[in-house]
Structure 1
């Protein structure tokens, strides 16, 4: 029995926790329309049914005037938890397809292009004519201004509609009280309370007394390739046992067939995508499913991801029996998945290449799509993010880092044991890298955006902490210049004070207050607000204050404002690089004239290299830096020795094809620009060293590329500078974690004449579920050279002696 509960009604100024408007369509029966009738679809995102007896759906024309009146359609009955409720309105003379049986019917002739729909806990016509007035009316449960609605709406109206389009909320029913953000314009998709769709009929209008399977089984649908041979076709009464369900997001359930065909390439499991259509099946139900075979490509049809084979828009789900044993999961051992990652298609799609699951990891996983898999003692190699997703490894000995990660060591070493995990019916703990799910973790395999093959977990092993803690470096000696690089991830004044405090605390406690701190992703004074603001003094002052409050030095800063929207990053944020420095330890040599477009030159000053402007941008007019951050060079003096520090933030990897995607090997198109940027930066280093071979140069920042990439190979060619990450053991080379791969994006490089240094990547963020930034900082403590080897040795000996005496 379904219990209908009348819940308290809230004003539309607060997002609804239960009943709301899910879709509006006013083009029914108009010229070019397929549907014959206008409709309003309601939904209930709550956990209990909502009674709508005595409620109404009301309509106001787009351009409301004093003479405009609200038209009403009374409602009766209830909206089931997670269910839909279809309100039919006026019919036109066009169209060929009728709505499914409506749950309520009115006669309102809605506009096909714009208007306002209200869900009201009463039947008295509203009188409000503005958004504010409607928000103040406690009877208004939800309000949607669609298309050309100009006055009465929540936030901004939805996109413009036509006779062939409706405005509908996403499958998760977002409700931010901004119609434009919550609704998407597309083909109308009316669903009634029984789950019926136009032309689909009753999901089970006349169940067979003795239902029998149809002529297609799951392995016929999956086929022996990546794309179903039946894609786009209707299938009837496909048998399987329900192995798991998902009631939010992409709603649906998994079924698996115990009758296997003996072909290692064909999966026996599949996802049934119901969208918002209610379903009542539970694991152990033996079902027959009728619907359309579809290939869903996460991220969009034009993207580089592979697809997930589904039975979509089911028209009939028949439960044959209940309480059946769920098929036993296949246990994935460290040797189950091949070491080789993907077939080489010369950069073309592998969707037409026959599967070879014994040879390639991607083929093996594709051949198990939709099936139950089990991983024992699963170790996390990527922390669980805010969406409840993480990465585990099925190959614990594959390039293991000491702290639990899996290290990415080359384009030919993608770490085939990585597997994304997310909640199916079992939510993940807030795990860090190195944490383990002891025992069996079981779930159905699917393919998702940002990670590819994914285990949707039904049950988890016992969560066991791996015990990693944030690292702390030793403080610099008096004779050492400490330089650090830190990507602070879109730092802006509007960020919570807690973010500033955490970043500042790490600078003081974990990095030991470096003398020079190179920052990336400093946003302008109003963050992502796009109003032409480019100055960042408020951002930097707030950070400097936080560091001082945390017990650090009172840093000074140097930076150059970019041109508005010229340097990439979050639109309106105007991210840039910047220097912080401790004036009690190091001096900045200020030379005026540096701005967004003036290039810094290397000049000779008493036989040594110097900068023409300081700070100054390196080669800013070079097309290599289009829509990207320009390097910032600064001249520092430490204990009488000149040190040139260049802050960098190369262009991102956006636009590169997915490692796990359909094109193999994947194209890394963004590398072209980074190679050009490295060429420009290397030319600057060469200019310094052409004047002064003994010059102290430090290149620091987020290069957005690996130590084995063309960009880094260009920078280090001939040994002019040393990439310090390569001085570490291979399994310690990482500062960032992406899709379960511990990898290098951030770099500190020093000129070859600097012989004495201590270097460390300080792991405080990338491996942790709770992060202040997604990057780990790095620190190098150098003994700058005088430019004369013999003098250096004598000077360093004297400095060492003085420090020992001071300690005594």
Structure 2
């Protein structure tokens, strides 16, 4: 899976933007007609003037964006109409650094456009803009219209209306109902100056100087200050992205649970990376919530500790080895077995045919020893070059990291990148035909995706089958603020096929040995309530152990204001029945601005 950061950079590189020239004229305004901003915005998501020329649109400049590919400014009509569905603000796209200033009273002549951030294939909503503008400045230093307060009382509890089936479930043509649906409410404020106050941070500041807050502090709140994404029907309507019109150096560096005290205010925009965004001309003051990284307990002598950890495209050139080693030793307490996801080959993204990962693993193991941990051993299977997805040239794969002082690995020849591992019956017990081996690597379900790695371990005389997974990413799915409701999760098709194969392989082990201890773990790229999880669990062959935690602690990842499960450890019935089963989602990354991975590791302890 390509890193979210690299995918974001790529999208920024190719993002389309309207091309327009802007001129600023001083003096008498052009002849104005009766079209006002609220006429342009209309009562649906698409302007009734889309594609048409408008003249003399009046407003006060409320914000200026002089950076990025979408340069321009926002105007707002100080004389609103009485319809809450019609926005009084609109973005004027100039294409070059605008010469307007906040407080200018202007009229704008140009063409109304509906710009879709990320392109129409993204499914995103559009932003109503005036393009190719001629701007007349009437006066400067005017008071800007009072910002609309967005708070827990103003945002509806329902998230979005159902789309028009005749239009492919698009909500574009539906009349806005800002008193009924959160997405309609935000759309009715598109381009207007809005204000939030004393908001809690629910996604930490990212490398692009943006964070997420909630205006509903009690909505699905987690123990550590985030907002839980607990089901498809339980949306966090109060979450809002915050960017700044100021210098990125001045942007708050926040963790989950921090607050932006006081007022944060600016135009409400809509962008490719999260939808509705408050682009602040005024930012609240950051107040730390004191969040600290978690530490799990050490496993007991008779407990087997099994973990999964996505280390985000780790290769020898990275500077995070010491930090990952410290996390494994100090925060995870040196688990007996660790499934590592996103281990890259020995020269990272250099695409020269290299597929081995010995240098990557040696550097990690040495760092663990230096951090005071055990001398781990490891097993993996090199992928076929450029066949397993992820960063081009990186050849990411899953790796078994294990402590040979506590657990032994059963090496059985025959496993390679293209040969499918099977299950044999020997003396009444299940045995893998190869260890390590790959699960159905030739199946189309694994095209351009990581193949599961299966291996046999022995702990205190008991065999434990472990299957390390990194299923198809959610890339390509429509965002939650899409114009299509309900959204289309197209990536599920391949992931469901993969989950079917993993479940079938587990079932083949249990068909031979009903009481076999089987652990299927890794970055499943899907939620514990998802269809993917249901397929993995099957008819009781597996059970996602994160469901043993209280709901407020069920998350491994934080994305766009939603704390959610992507990483899971699923276990067979014999392990689920263990009276001492203990699961821990160890929050060391996802909630922090200085994360070394975007995933939190998971640890399961049990007595085989």
CA contact (8 A) 2:47 2:128 kept: yes
Q: Which of residues 265, 271, 291 in structure 2 aligns to 1:468?
A: 291
Q: Tell me the TM-score normalised to structure 2 length.
A: 0.93
The match for 2:94 is: 274
- Bigger relative contact order (CA 8 A; separation at least 6): 2
CA contact (8 A) 2:37 2:90 kept: yes
The match for 1:587 is: 408
Any gaps of 5 or more consecutive residues in structure 1? 1-180, 197-202, 785-808
The match for 2:83 is: 263
Please report the RMSD computed on the Cα atoms of aligned residues, expressed in angstroms: 2.1
The match for 1:509 is: 330
The match for 1:563 is: 384
Q: Secondary structure at the match of 2:121?
A: coil
CA contact (8 A) 1:656 1:669 kept: yes
Cα distance, 1:525 vs structure 2 = 1.3
Superposed CA offset, 1:634-657 (max 9, x none)? 100111111111100000111211
CA contact (8 A) 2:244 2:283 kept: no
After the TM superposition, list the runs of 4 or more consecutive aligned residues in structure 1 that deviate by more than 6 angstroms: 181-191
Q: Distance in 2 between matches of 1:278 and 1:264?
A: 30
The match for 2:6 is: none
Q: Distance in 2 between matches of 1:311 and 1:760?
A: 51
The match for 2:342 is: 521
- 2:157 matches 1:330: no
Cα distance, 1:277 vs structure 2 = 4.4
Range with greater deviation from structure 2 (555-564 or 213-222) = 213-222
Cα distance, 1:554 vs structure 2 = 1.1
Q: Secondary structure at the match of 1:302?
A: helix
Superposed CA offset, 1:715-744 (max 9, x none)? 223322221111111111100011110000
**How many residue pairs get matched?**
589
Superposed CA offset, 1:359-405 (max 9, x none)? 11111111100111111111111111111111111111110001111
CA contact (8 A) 2:67 2:97 kept: no
Superposed CA offset, 1:127-180 (max 9, x none)? xxxxxxxxxxxxxxxxxxxxxxxxxxxxxxxxxxxxxxxxxxxxxxxxxxxxxx
- 2:228 matches 1:407: yes
Q: Which of residues 365, 373, 398 in structure 2 aligns to 1:552?
A: 373
The match for 1:773 is: 597
Q: Secondary structure at the match of 1:679?
A: helix
CA contact (8 A) 1:244 1:425 kept: no
Q: Distance in 2 between matches of 1:622 and 1:286?
A: 63
Q: Distance in 2 between matches of 1:740 and 1:617?
A: 36
The match for 1:799 is: none
Q: Distance in 1 between matches of 2:50 and 2:478?
A: 25
Q: Distance in 2 between matches of 1:760 and 1:612?
A: 32
Cα distance, 1:183 vs structure 2 = 10
The match for 2:107 is: 288
CA contact (8 A) 1:382 1:737 kept: yes
Any gaps of 5 or more consecutive residues in structure 2? 1-10
Cα distance, 1:234 vs structure 2 = 2.1
Superposed CA offset, 1:504-559 (max 9, x none)? 11011100111111000111111111222211111111111111111111111100
Q: Distance in 2 between matches of 1:359 and 1:187?
A: 32
Superposed CA offset, 1:324-380 (max 9, x none)? 211111111202111111111245211112211111111111110011111111111
Q: Distance in 2 between matches of 1:277 and 1:674?
A: 44
1:174-573 → structure 2 map (5 Å cutoff): 203-204=24-25, 207-208=27-28, 213-249=32-68, 250-279=70-99, 281-315=100-134, 317-345=135-163, 346=165, 347-425=168-246, 427-496=250-319, 499-573=320-394
Q: Secondary structure at the match of 2:281?
A: strand
CA contact (8 A) 2:18 2:115 kept: no
The match for 1:84 is: none
Cα distance, 1:593 vs structure 2 = 1.0
Q: Which of residues 700, 718, 725 in structure 1 aligns to 2:521?
A: 700
Change over 3 Å in CA distance of 1:182–1:339 after alignment to 2 = closer
CA contact (8 A) 2:195 2:266 kept: yes
The match for 1:44 is: none
The match for 2:465 is: 644
Q: Distance in 2 between matches of 1:389 and 1:373?
A: 17
Structure with larger Rg = 1
